[in-house]
């Protein structure tokens, strides 16, 4: 991907500093290769999916550490942290998958939601995540 022209570079925000930090903003870190545009498209799709699926949280998508990281060849990895000051947990790695290229990406982003909820619960167990409550209600109804 060609670099942006002068004056068009987006300023990097340090989400962990006091000015920008929020406990309510979870971070999605994606390392993706530039060898094909589908990698960037899939990264954007993942961020949009999680924001739509868990609307009570704010999400910040960080791709290739704001362009400062040189991605590994064939890389598509998704990391998640509860907020900018907590550790990053690997949710998906497509490094050792493929060819074909489609194997590098999760078949369905829905498979990432249980891990995301587990991470959110780990750091803030007193905050209920709506998705988990719905799943528990459905399970209780099935048991009856």
Instruction: Tell me if the bond preceding 100 is cis, omega within 30° of 0.
Output: yes
Predicted TM-score of the model (pTM): 0.75
Q: Pairing between strand 58-63 and 25-32?
A: parallel
Share of the chain above pLDDT 70, in %: 75
Q: List, for residues 96-128, the tens digit of each pLDDT value.
A: 997 888 999 999 999 999 999 998 887 666 554
DSSP letters, 68-132, are TS-PPTT-EEEEEESSTTS--EEEEE-TT--SSGGGGS-S-GGGGHHHHHHHHHHH-TTSPPHHH
Structural domains in the chain, CATH included, are: 25-143 (3.40.30.10)
State how far Cα 115 lies from the chain centre: 11
């Amino acid at each position: 991907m060609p670099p942006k022209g002068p004056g068009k570079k987006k300023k990097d925000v340090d989400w962990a500093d006091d000015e920008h930090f929020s406990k309510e903003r979870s971070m999605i870190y994606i390392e993706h290769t530039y060898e094909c545009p589908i990698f960037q498209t899939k990264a954007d799709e993942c961020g949009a999916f999680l924001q739509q699926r868990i609307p009570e949280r704010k999400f910040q998508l960080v791709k290739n550490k704001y362009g400062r990281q040189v991605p590994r060849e064939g890389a598509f990895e998704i990391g998640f942290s509860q907020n900018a000051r907590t550790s990053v947990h690997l949710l998906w790695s497509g490094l050792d998958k493929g060819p074909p290229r489609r194997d590098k990406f999760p078949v369905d982003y829905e498979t990432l939601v249980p891990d995301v909820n587990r991470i959110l619960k780990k750091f803030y167990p007193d905050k209920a995540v709506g998705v988990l409550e719905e799943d528990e209600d459905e399970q209780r109804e099935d048991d009856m």
